Amino acid sequence: MFPMPMGVGVLVELSEAFSLTHKNCPKIWKQPVVDQRLTEKQKADWWLEHGERGVSSETIFQTIDGRIILEHEKCHPLDPDDFRRCYLLLKTIPEWKDKLYMMEKVSPVWSELVDNWDRLSEILEEQIRTGKPNGVYEFMKKLGC
């Protein structure tokens, strides 16, 4: 049990102890995956309920789908994890890859991202596969992120 409220130092200690205690426990949770036989709209609805969301992925969703879901300004990804959520959105709704050009009107940075989407995706996939930083962040910075 985590006693609340608690100081940051106590939380860190308890979290590290928990990690050590459970380091050999089998992983039983799996990331939910959309059924690609669903319609585009059904996949979009699925993502709203189950997808990993951030401001930049919600910006893509709102721009392409048209539904207003943002309670904040539109934004481009600022780091590899932001981009990963955008990448996962397009894996969930692959039909939107052909509509990604719509993001170009959001900002000049989005235009750069769209132009370099395939390369960014390749670098991200490699980083996910190896678990090691490989320049995704630096490439994103060159694009203006």
What are the structural domain ranges in the chain? 36-142
Q: How far, in Å, CA of 47 to CA of 90, rounded?
A: 10
- Note the pLDDT of residue 31: 82
Dihedral angle of Cα 10, 16, 17, 22, to the nearest 10 degrees = 150
Residue-wise pLDDT for 49-84, tens only, equals 999 999 999 999 999 999 998 787 889 999 999 999
Residue-wise pLDDT for 11-53, tens only, equals 899 889 989 999 999 888 788 899 999 999 999 999 999 999 9
